[in-house]
Structure 1
Amino acid sequence: MTLQALDRTPGQSAVRCGAAARHTPSLLARLVAMSLQLLAFVAGPAGAAAISGTVFEDPNYGGGAGRSLAAASGVPRASARVELYDATGAFSTATSTNGSGAFNLSGLGAGTYFVRVVNASVSSSRSGYVAGVHLAVQTHRTDATSGTPVAVTDFVGGTNPAVADPGNAGVGASFNTSTFAFTSGLSGTAQSVTRVALGVADVSQADFGFCFDVIVNTNGAGQGSLRQLLVNSNALLIGGLAQVGRSPGVEHAIWMIPNGTASPGLRAAFNLFGGSIALIAPTTALPAIADPLALDAQTQPGWTSAPIVRLDGSAATGAVDGLSVAASGLGTEIRGLIVTRFSRDGVSIQAGAGGVTVAGCWIGSTGNGSTLVGNADDGIEIAGGTAHIGGIGPYDGNVITNNGDEGINISGGGAVATVILGNIIGLDPNGASGGGNGDVGIAILAGANDTIGGPLPAARNSISRNYEGIEIGTPNNVIIGNYVGTDVTGTLDRGQRSDDGIELINGAVGNRIGGTGAADGNLIAFNALNGVNVAAGSGNAVLGNRIHSNQLLGIDLRNDGVSPNNGTVAAGQPNLSMDSPVFTSAVLSFSTLTLAGYVGSAPGQATFANARVELFRSDLDGTGFGEGRSLLGSLTTNATGQFSGILSVSGLVAGDQVTGTATDGSGNTSEFGADRVVTAGGGPLAITKRAFLPGGTPLNSGMTLPRGTRFQFMLYVSNNGPAVNDVTLRDLLDPAFEYEPGSLRVTMAPSNCLGANCTAAEEATMYALSAAAPSSSDGIDGDVAAFSAGTVHAGNQNVANARLDVPANRACVLLFTVHAR
C-alpha cells in the first residue's frame, strides 16, 4: 500500500491509497507525523471555540416556569454525562461534569452543535440518593441557536415528557435534529438537548436544571411518573427543602403534566390529557408513601374545581390499594385526585400514619352518574391517628361513593381523633344523585374521639344512599351538623337503602349525636329503618336533631320498636332503657307554648330528676310516638321527674302534635315520647297603664299637671284566650303622686280587646265600667285587690289577697285615684 500526501495545508491532511509500497523507517516516521495531523483534525484547529455550562439540581422548584442556575440557587451536580452531537445529529464525543457541575467541550470549529445531558446520570444533592434508582426531570435548559444562550422556561419534562430519556450514547449513535429521536445506535428520544450555533467565540452558560419531585406524564413507571415521584420522595431526605410557594416541613409533588396549553413551564406542543382528565393506570401496586408528602393534584395546571387527575386500578394485578400511606408517612396530604377501580381500598392509611389529610378527591366516582368505577373494598380505610378527611374550604370535601364496602372505614385501634368534614359520602358530586357505597357510609369500628361534621355549613357531611349511614362501635365520638339520608339541600329523599341512618353497636359509649348548640343538630331523614338505632352502649346522647320520615322509629333503643316507659333504668341495656317524656298539656297562645308533663311511667319518679326534656314538632309518625321534625326548645325536670314551663315558638299552630326526648345527666337519651296535640290558648297577659281625668278624659304620657290635680290611673290586662288562673298585678306608685284612700276599684270588663293592643275606644269603655263599679277596701283582706306600702296589689302571689282569676275573653281592670303632690 502506498500513502501519498496530497495537501499539506496547515491543519489538514489527505491520503491516497496505492499498491506495492515498501515499509521503510522513513515511511513509518511520515506515518506517525500524519497520524498526529489527523488527531489535530479531530480536536480542532488551534484557537477553536468551546461550549461550556453547568448541570444543576433545583431541589426547591415549586412548579411553573423553569429556573436558571442563579434564580434557583441551584446545586451543581458532578459526574453528569454530557454528550456532543454535530450538525447532522451524529454523536461526536462525551464528557462528565466536574465537582462544580461544570462541563467544557473545547477545540470546536464554527458550526451547529447539539449538547445533550443524560438524565439518569444527574444525581441529587439530597441524602438517600441512589444512582439508577432515583431519576430526575429536566426543569431548565437554554437555547443558543443565536450563538448566545437564552433560557428556555417552557420545557419542563424535556423534549417529550411522555417518554423516558434513554441511556448513554456512543460512536455510531445519531438522532433527528428536530425531534431528537435516535435513528441509530440507541432507541428513544433524547430529553435534555440544547442547540448551539458556535462561531469563533466560546459559548458559555449552556446550563441544564433538574428536579426529583416533578410529575410530567401519566406513565405507570419511569422518569417523570407518579411512581417515580413516590420512589424519589420516599428515599430523598427533606432536610432543608423549601419548595417555592409550598408549605415547609413536607415534600411536595410538583404536578406539571402537559395539557396542550401554554401554561408556564408546560410543553404546549403536548397534551397528555384525555378530554379533561389525565389518566394514570399503574399495572402493579404503587409504593406506599413512606415519607411526609403533599400529593396535591389541585396544583396541576388547568385545575379549577373538580379533580382532573385520575388514578385508576383496573389494569393492576393482585390485591392493590390506590394510594397507601405507611407509618413513616405521617403528615402526608393527598388532594385533588380521582381514585377508581382498585381491587382493595382507594386510599389506605396504615397504622402509625398520623396526621394524614385526604381532601378534594373523588374516590369511586368519575362524576355525576358514574357507576362501576368504585374501589372493591373501602373508599378510605383509616388505621392511623388524627386523620383529617375533607375540610371546610371550598374544595376540601371529598366525594366517596360506589365503593364495594365502606365509604370511610375507621378500622385501626390507633385511629383516634379522626376528623371528617364537608364530604359527600354515597352521592355523586352534585349531591343529589348516586347509588351509594356497598355497606356503611362511615364505619367507626376502632379507635375513639372522632368528629364527624361541625356546626358550620361547610363542615356538614352528606351521608346518603349507602346501605347504612353511620355505624359507631367506639367511645366518645361526636356527630354534629350532618345530613344523613337527604341530598345536600336537606330536602330530597336520599335515605340509606337498607338500614338505619345512624346505628350504635357494642362499644358505643359516651357518644354525642347532635348537641345543645344552635347548629349542632343533624338532619336524619328518609332512611330505610330507624333514624337512630341505639342497639347497644350507654351514655349516647341524641340532642337537638331534626329527625323525620324514617321508615321505622326516629330513635329506637334495643332495636325492638316502641319501648313503653316502666319507671326505671336498666343497667346493661342500650342507654339504660331511659324512659321518654309524657306531656300532660301543651297549650299555644300566639307564639307562647305552655307545657307540663313528666318523665317515667307516672308523675313523681325521682329516678328521672334533672333530665333534659327536648320538645319537637312531631312528624306524625304512624306509631304515635313521633319523630322530631324540628326542635322547639327544652325544659328540665324537677326533683320528682316532672316538668312545666313556657317556650317561645314559631311555625307551630293549634292542632299540631309535639313529641320529645329525655336525656339524663350521663347522656342517656330516650326514644321519642307519645305525641301530644297542641291546644289553643289565649295570648300572653300583659299589663297596660293609662291615666284619665275624673270623668274619663285621657291624659298623655309626659304631661305636666299642677300640684294638687286629681286624676286616675287605670291598669288592665286583656285575656284573648281561655281562662287564666292565679294572676298577679302590681304597680309601685311614683312618690310624686299620693294615693286617695278608698278609690281602688276592680272590674272584669265584659269583652276583651279585639286586637293585640286595645284601642282608645276599648280603653274608654273599660274606664267607664270601672268608674261605675263599687270600690274595694284598701286593706289586705278577703278581696282580690289592696293598696299597701305605696303599691297597688291584685292577686295573692305577693300579698295575702284572694286569688285573682281572669275569665276567658275578659279584661281585668284596676282603677284608682291619685293627686299630684
Structure 2
Amino acid sequence: MPPVSRKLSSVSQSILRASLKTRLLRSILVVTVFVSVLIFLQVTRAQVLKGDYQFQGARTSSTGTSALTDTGVGTNTFQTETVDGVSRTVLRFVNNNGLRLSSATSVIPNNSWTIVMLFKVDSVNSWVRLVDFKNRTSDEGLYILNGQLENCQTCTPIAANTYVQVVYTRNSSGTFAAYVNGVLQGSGPDVNNDLVISGSNILNFFQDDTVEPNEASAGSVARIRLYDAPMTAAEVAALDRLPLLTVTNTNDSGAGSLRQAITTANTQQGLQTITFNIPGSGVRTITPTSALPTISDPVVIDGTTQPGFAGTPIIELNGTSAGTGTLGLNITAANSRVQGLVINRFNGAGITISTGGFNTIRGNYIGTDASGNSAQGNNSGVVISTSTNNTIGGPTAADRNVMSGNINNGFLCNGSNANNNVVQGNYIGTNAAGTAAVPNNFSGVNIIGKDLIGQHGIANSAGVIDKNTAENVVNDPVAGRRSYASDCVVVGSSSNSYTFRPVTCHDGIIQVGTNEVSLNDVARCG
C-alpha cells in the first residue's frame, strides 16, 4: 500500500505516477511491495494483546489497561445492534465524534503495533477518518475513501451500515499493512512516519483532525483491540471478530485462560459458550490460585469441546491452590450449563447454584479424579441454595454426573425457596462405572428445609445412589428430629443393597411410586 500517507510525499507521488506508466515499472512496484512484505514478516514477533475494548456498557479494556474516553460534541451512547448475527451492545458515535486513548504508549509502542477495529459507519462516501496518530494536528492518518481503504492495492469494498473488521499493522522498520475482513489490502513503507504516535501520546479513533476537519462519519463500534507488535497475514486471517470464548491454555489468568473466558462471558449480553482447545493430549488440568469469577450472566462451559474428548471428561479443575472456602464454579445466573468437566479438591463446593434458576449440570465428575475411580473430594459436590428449576444430570448416560468422594455431601439442596430441582441419572457415591463405592463422607443426597420430595424427585435413569460414609439426608425442618421410617430405603443396584441408608429423612416424606427411592427413580428438591 505505498504510500500510507493521505497527503503523499513527492517521492511517493513519483513512484505512483511512474508505476502507472508502464507494465515494467508496475512490476517493479509489485516486487518492491513483495520484498516489503518479506521484510515485514521477518521482523515480526509474538504479539501480546494489550487492550481489548468490547463496549459492553463501558469503555474499559478487559486486559485492565487504560479506558477510552469520548471525543467530540456530546456523549457517545451504548445501544443494542446485531453484529455478525448476534445481538449485542455497541457504542454509537455521531458524526465527527470518536474515542481517545491517552498515554497510548503505555499500552502499545509508538511505532510497532497491530490495531484491530470491528465497526460500521453510516457513510463511506469521500473521506472517513478511522485512526489518527498526531492528536488531530495533522491531516495524515488512516481513512476510508469512497468505500475502500485509502491507497489499497487489493481493494475489498466497504459498505455503509455494515460491520467490517479492519486491521492495521506496523513494524519498527516502518513497514505497514492493512486488511479488510482478513484480506490483505496492501503493504508498504510509512514514508513520513505518519503512523507513529506523536509526542502528545494520544491515539484517536473516528474523529477527524482540525486541519481539514469533518472528514468523518457517524457509526458504531463493537470492538477495538491493540497489540504490542505487528501480526503476520496468517495471524490476521485467524483473528476472531466478536470474542470467541475459547480456553487455550491451563494458565490461572490472562488471555486464553478459563478465568478470562468467564470474565469476558460475564460482560456479554445473552448466552455465551466457553469452549476448550488446550494443546496436548490426555487430561488438561487448570489449577486456579484464587476463586474463579462468579458466573453472573448465562453461559455454557463445555468441556466436551476439548480435542480428544471421547465420552469422559478430560478438562480438570483442581482446587488445591484456590484457597480456604473457595468454590469451584459459583453460578448466580439463570439458564447456564456446565458439562464435561472434572471438578475436585476445592475447599468449598465443586459447583454452587444460587438465585438464578433453570441451570443444567451434566456429564461431570465432581469429587473424583479424572478416571472417576478415586476420591479427590471437594467440601461438597453440587450445592443448590435458594434456586429453582435446575437439573442435575438427566435421562441419558451422557447426562450423568458422578458426585462421589466429597468430604461432606455429594448433592446438597438447601433453602426454603429451592423448588423444583431435579437430580436424575447420576452416580452418587460410586465410581464412574457405577460398580464400586467411592463414598461421600457425609451424605450422598442431603435435602434440607423442604417438606416433600415428590414424585420423580430423585430420578436415576440407569443411575445409582450408593452407600456413603454417613447417611444421605433429606429435609431437616426441625433440628434434631429425624425419622428412619420405611419411606427411607436403601438405594443400590437391584442385586446389591447396603446397610448404610443412602437417603435419610429428617421428618420428611419421600413419595416416589410406592414410597421408595429405588434404582432408577428420582428425588425432586422442592
Q: Same fold (TM over 0.5)?
A: yes
CA-to-aligned-CA distance 1:125-162 (integer Å, 9 cap, x gap): xxxxxxxxxxxxxxx973659x89xxxxxxxxxxxxxx
Which residue of 2 is the match for residue 741 of structure 1? none
Which residue of 2 is the match for residue 502 of structure 1? 503
Deviation at 1:443, TM superposition (A): 0.5
Which residue of 2 is the match for residue 194 of structure 1? 233
Deviation at 1:472, TM superposition (A): 1.7
Deviation at 1:385, TM superposition (A): 1.9
Which residue of 2 is the match for residue 427 of structure 1? 430
Match of 2:292 among 286, 295, 303: 286
Q: Aligned partners of 1:98, 1:294: CA distance in 2, in Å?
A: 25
Residue identity opposite 2:472 in structure 1: I
CA contact (8 A) 2:359 2:389 kept: yes
Match of 1:459 among 458, 461, 479: 461
Match of 2:403 among 400, 404, 407: 400
Q: Aligned partners of 2:237, 2:353: CA distance in 1, in Å?
A: 45
Deviation at 1:91, TM superposition (A): 5.1
After superposition, the Cα gap between the structure-2 partners of 1:94 and 1:343, relative to the gap in structure 1 and judged at 3 Å, is: closer
SS at match of 1:459: coil
Tell me how many residue pairs correspond in the alignment: 359
Match of 1:443 among 442, 446, 461: 446
Instruction: Verify: 1:470 aligned to 2:472, yes or no.
Output: yes
Which residue of 1 is the match for residue 62 of structure 2? none
Instruction: Verify: 1:221 aligned to 2:253, yes or no.
Output: yes
Instruction: Verify: 1:347 aligned to 2:351, yes or no.
Output: yes
CA contact (8 A) 1:322 1:342 kept: yes
Which residue of 2 is the match for residue 231 of structure 1? 263
Which residue of 1 is the match for residue 514 of structure 2? 515
CA-to-aligned-CA distance 1:336-374 (integer Å, 9 cap, x gap): 211111111000112x22222211111011244643521
Residue identity opposite 1:391 in structure 2: G
CA contact (8 A) 1:212 1:229 kept: no
SS at match of 2:301: strand
After superposition, the Cα gap between the structure-2 partners of 1:423 and 1:237, relative to the gap in structure 1 and judged at 3 Å, is: same
Q: Aligned partners of 1:511, 1:98: CA distance in 2, in Å?
A: 57
After superposition, the Cα gap between the structure-2 partners of 1:348 and 1:355, relative to the gap in structure 1 and judged at 3 Å, is: same
Q: Aligned partners of 2:322, 2:13: CA distance in 1, in Å?
A: 53
Instruction: Verify: 1:306 aligned to 2:312, yes or no.
Output: yes
Which residue of 1 is the match for residue 207 of structure 2? none
Deviation at 1:42, TM superposition (A): 7.7
Q: Aligned partners of 2:519, 2:505: CA distance in 1, in Å?
A: 17
Match of 2:324 among 305, 313, 318: 318
Residue identity opposite 1:290 in structure 2: S
Residue identity opposite 1:335 in structure 2: Q
Q: Aligned partners of 1:254, 1:107: CA distance in 2, in Å?
A: 39
After superposition, the Cα gap between the structure-2 partners of 1:401 and 1:474, relative to the gap in structure 1 and judged at 3 Å, is: same
SS at match of 1:228: helix
Q: Aligned partners of 2:503, 2:118: CA distance in 1, in Å?
A: 67
Deviation at 1:422, TM superposition (A): 0.2
Q: Aligned partners of 1:444, 1:43: CA distance in 2, in Å?
A: 80
Q: Aligned partners of 1:40, 1:481: CA distance in 2, in Å?
A: 94
After superposition, the Cα gap between the structure-2 partners of 1:116 and 1:354, relative to the gap in structure 1 and judged at 3 Å, is: same
SS at match of 1:100: strand
Unaligned runs of 5+ in 2: 20-28, 34-51, 57-81, 92-97, 102-109, 122-129, 131-141, 144-148, 155-165, 171-179, 188-194, 199-226, 478-485, 521-526
Residue identity opposite 1:216 in structure 2: V
SS at match of 1:444: strand
Q: Aligned partners of 1:482, 1:430: CA distance in 2, in Å?
A: 25
Q: Aligned partners of 1:117, 1:449: CA distance in 2, in Å?
A: 64
SS at match of 1:466: coil
Deviation at 1:320, TM superposition (A): 0.7
After superposition, the Cα gap between the structure-2 partners of 1:344 and 1:256, relative to the gap in structure 1 and judged at 3 Å, is: closer
SS at match of 1:419: strand
Which residue of 1 is the match for residue 335 of structure 2? 331
Unaligned runs of 5+ in 1: 1-10, 12-36, 60-69, 82-89, 119-139, 149-167, 172-187, 197-204, 239-250, 259-270, 525-821
Deviation at 1:94, TM superposition (A): 7.1
Q: Aligned partners of 1:117, 1:235: CA distance in 2, in Å?
A: 28
CA contact (8 A) 1:116 1:190 kept: no
Instruction: Verify: 1:411 aligned to 2:419, yes or no.
Output: no
- Structure 2 matches for 1:664-683, cutoff 5 A? none
CA contact (8 A) 1:469 1:485 kept: no
Residue identity opposite 1:402 in structure 2: G
Which residue of 1 is the match for residue 39 of structure 2? none
Higher relative contact order (CA 8 A, sep 6+): 2
Which residue of 2 is the match for residue 378 of structure 1? 380
Deviation at 1:211, TM superposition (A): 2.4
CA contact (8 A) 1:378 1:403 kept: yes
Structure ID, larger Rg? 1
- TM-score when normalising by structure 2: 0.55
After superposition, the Cα gap between the structure-2 partners of 1:448 and 1:314, relative to the gap in structure 1 and judged at 3 Å, is: same
Deviation at 1:298, TM superposition (A): 2.5
What is the aligned-residue RMSD (CA, Å)?
5.1
Residue identity opposite 1:354 in structure 2: G
Residue identity opposite 2:514 in structure 1: G
Which residue of 2 is the match for residue 756 of structure 1? none
- TM-score when normalising by structure 1: 0.37
After superposition, the Cα gap between the structure-2 partners of 1:408 and 1:99, relative to the gap in structure 1 and judged at 3 Å, is: closer
Which residue of 1 is the match for residue 369 of structure 2? 366
SS at match of 2:260: helix
Q: Aligned partners of 1:433, 1:189: CA distance in 2, in Å?
A: 54
Q: Aligned partners of 1:387, 1:56: CA distance in 2, in Å?
A: 34
